Amino acid sequence: MTRMLIIGPPGSGKGTQAARISERLGVVAISTGDIFRDNVRRETPLGVEAKTFMDAGDFVPDSVTNSMVRDRLAAGDVQEGFLLDGYPRTAAQVAELDDILRENDLALDVVLQLTADDEELVKRLLGRAKLDGRSDDNERVIRHRLGLYQDQTAPVVSRYDERGIVTRVDGLGSIDEVTDRVMTALKVAS
Ligand code: B4P
pLDDT at 189 over 50: no
User: How many residues in the chain?
Assistant: 190
Distance 18 CA to ligand 1 centre (A): 11
Instruction: Output phi, psi for 28, to 5 deg.
Output: -75, 135
User: Which residue stretches of the chain are H helix?
Assistant: 14-25, 32-42, 45-56, 62-73, 91-103, 118-132, 139-148, 154-162, 175-185
Average pLDDT value for residue range 52-80: 94
Q: Which amino acid is at 16?
A: T
**pLDDT category of residue 187 using cuts at 50, 70 and 90:** confident
ipTM of model: 0.88
Q: Is 155 annotated as a binding residue?
A: no
**pLDDT score for 190:** 36
Q: What percent of the chain has pLDDT over 90?
A: 91
Instruction: Give the mean pLDDT of the chain.
Output: 95
pLDDT digits (tens, 9 = 90+) for 97-128: 999 999 988 899 999 999 999 999 999 999 99
pTM exceeds 0.90, yes or no: yes
Average pLDDT value for residue range 6-15: 97
Distance 147 CA to ligand 1 centre (A): 14
Distance 61 CA to ligand 1 centre (A): 18
- Active-site entry in 14, 51, 72, 181: 14
- Active-site entry in 24, 70, 134, 168: 134
Domains and CATH numbers, the chain: 3-185 (3.40.50.300)
**pLDDT category of residue 188 using cuts at 50, 70 and 90:** low
**pLDDT score for 48:** 97
- Angle at alpha carbon of residue 30, lines to 176 and 146, rounded to 5°: 70
**pLDDT score for 104:** 86
Average pLDDT value for residue range 42-54: 97
